[in-house]
Amino acid sequence: MKLIIKILIVFLISITLNAREIGETEITTEDGIEVFQNEKFYLLKQNVKIVSDNFTLSADEVKINFDKSLYDITELDANGNVDFKSNEFEISGNGNFLNFKVKIEKIKVEGERSQLITNDIKMFSDGFIEVSNLNGDFLLKGINSKLVNENIIVKAETINGNFSENANEKEITYLEVIDKNISYVKNNDTEMYAKKINFDNDTSIIELIDDVIIIRNEEKITGDYGTLDTRNNSYKIKSNNQNKVKVIIQSNE
Amino acid sequence: MFGVIIIFLFVIIIFYKQINLTYNNNVIIEKTINSSSTADISEPKFAINNESKKIYITASQGNFISKDEVLLNKNVKFKSSDFSIETEKVIFNRDKQTAKSKTKSMFKSKNATITSDGFNIHDKGNKIIFYGNSYLILK
């Protein structure tokens, strides 16, 4: 009984001593902290864990730039096995490297199998994913880059775009998709391939440039240039060579 | 019933802390009395100077290890305009203006606290390395 009480006491005291209070950020490392006062940054070394009310992050190493004092964080670089979640920005992700610029709310995740997940949009890449929370700009670059939301799937080497907040949902306002091999966009029941694909929410037009293929139901149409109007789901395809537009209608049987 | 258990545990924690504090104070006082006679310097004071600030170092005792190195013992404090560090043992090099500690240390600056298993001050106080399992709280 005495032993149990002692264990309980030690346990409770250790919890009391290390407990983070509301509003505080708790950082633990296994191999120390290096503070560079003149250069205004500190290094957190080995198995770093950062926990605050709205943010958690774990990584092998973290570099934090500060302004006035250690608490006044301006930029964070996390390296190796980075995993994070922000309740405030409703975003989570992982990758080999993370850069977060606090004041401009710009986040960049880099490395193989990088992911950035928000409530409405999921982004994946083996290169990097960059999102600016203030203006909604995003850029995915590298192989296996993919963007998925409720209405659209995009796969390409470069996916550049912008989303805006509309009725608490993130809506894509423009997209510029480029792949030297082939880009892929799926919108509702239509699959589109082209070297370059653009989308403008103002005109509701998806523009397809070079090596265009549009597949819908059993129809497959190829050409050099195409447009798809997302309002009425109609599309047009043309070719530089008049004879080149090709329609293949597949039978279900 | 659960409430009674919580109150009981809380009372035990307070008693335990009180007993611990009294014991620790007695140990510190006893040690001070025992070792005060062996100190080369009592209440030593040093400073690390750099371009932008001065770091003042104080302790209860100091013992010369070599011409330049002093072992500072008990209640060792580093204090500058923007931070302080407290620990129990530090080797201070007067010539190189460096300090090294392998005892539990606590760093405090505005809205930030670091606890670590020791530290090393280089480059006239510009670079501070905290060793081992370290714990940083930002407010």
From first to last of its 253 residues, chain A has per-residue pLDDT tens of 565 555 555 444 444 445 678 889 999 999 999 999 999 999 999 999 999 999 999 999 999 999 989 999 999 999 999 999 999 888 999 999 999 999 999 999 999 999 999 988 999 999 999 999 899 999 999 999 999 998 899 999 999 999 987 767 778 999 999 999 999 999 888 999 999 999 999 999 999 999 999 999 888 999 999 999 988 888 889 888 765 666 665 554 4
Q: Provide the token pair at B45.
A: 């004071």
Same domain? For B46 and B114 the reply is yes
Instruction: Identify the domain containing residue B91 by its residue range.
Output: 39-138
Rounded Cα distance between A223 and A99, Å, is: 41
The angle at the Cα of A203, spanning A201 to A208, to the nearest 5 degrees, equals 85
CB contact under 8 A, A16 and B125: no
The model's confidence at residue B33, banded by pLDDT at 50, 70 and 90, is very low
Instruction: Tell me the HSE value of A214 on the side-chain side, using a 13 A CA sphere.
Output: 27
Mutate to test the interface with A, among B130, B131, B139 (most CBs of A within 10 A): B130
Same domain? For B71 and B20 the reply is no
Same domain? For B110 and B48 the reply is yes
How many Å separate Cα B71 from the centre of its chain?
A: 13
A167: left (phi over 0), alpha (psi -120 to 50) or beta: left
Q: Cβ distance B118 to B132 under 8 Å? A: yes
Across the A:B interface, residue pairs with CB atoms under 8 Å apart total 89
How many other C-beta atoms lie within 10 A of the C-beta of residue B19? 10
Helices (H), B1-139: 2-35
In this prediction, residue B64 carries a pLDDT of 95
In this prediction, residue A199 carries a pLDDT of 95
Same domain? For B44 and B32 the reply is no
CB contact under 8 A, B114 and A24: no
Same domain? For B26 and B69 the reply is no
Give how many domains chain B has, as a whole number.
Answer: 2
CB contact under 8 A, B137 and A27: yes
Same domain? For B95 and B123 the reply is yes
Q: Provide the token pair at A182.
A: 């082939």
Return the higher-pLDDT residue of A10 and B86: B86
Closest to A174 (Cα-Cα) out of A193, A190, A155, A197: A197
Closest to B114 (Cα-Cα) out of B101, B126, B131: B131
ipTM summary value: 0.78
Residue labelled with tokens 């006491």: A9
Same domain? For B61 and B83 the reply is yes
Measured between CB atoms, does B111 come within 8 Å of chain A?
yes
| Of residues A33, A69, A71, nearest to B116 (C-beta) | A33
Single-letter code of the amino acid located at B124: K
CB contact under 8 A, A26 and B112: no
Same domain? For B126 and B81 the reply is yes
In this prediction, residue B26 carries a pLDDT of 40
CB contact under 8 A, A33 and B112: no
A residues 29-48 lying closer than 8 A (beta carbon) to B? 29-39, 44
| Of residues B13, B111, B116, nearest to A32 (C-beta) | B116
Residues spanned by CATH 2.60.450.10 within chain A? Answer: 24-88, 113-253
Measured between CB atoms, does A166 come within 8 Å of chain B?
no
* CA-based nearest distance A19→chain B, Å: 10
Rounded Cα distance between A157 and A159, Å, is: 7
CB contact under 8 A, B139 and A29: no
Q: Provide the token pair at A106.
A: 């710009």
Which phi and psi angles does A97 have, rounded to 5°?
-145, 140
Closest to A154 (Cα-Cα) out of A141, A169, A164: A141
Instruction: Tell me the CATH number of domain A24-88, given options 2.60.450.10, 1.10.580.10, 3.40.1130.10, 3.40.50.2300.
Output: 2.60.450.10
Same domain? For B33 and B83 the reply is no
Question: Which regions of B59-139 does DSSP assign to beta strands (E)?
Answer: 61-64, 69-79, 83-93, 98-101, 105-109, 112-116, 119-122, 127-130, 134-138
Return the higher-pLDDT residue of B82 and B3: B82
Measured between CB atoms, does B15 come within 8 Å of chain A?
no
CB contact under 8 A, B110 and A37: no
Same domain? For B24 and B68 the reply is no
Residue labelled with tokens 């201070």: B92
In this prediction, residue A3 carries a pLDDT of 54
How many other C-beta atoms lie within 10 A of the C-beta of residue A123? 25
Same domain? For B50 and B92 the reply is yes
CATH number attached to the domain at A113-253: 2.60.450.10
In this prediction, residue B35 carries a pLDDT of 46
Same domain? For B6 and B47 the reply is no
CB contact under 8 A, A28 and B135: yes
Rounded Cα distance between B109 and A66, Å, is: 13
B residues 41-60 lying closer than 8 A (beta carbon) to A? 52
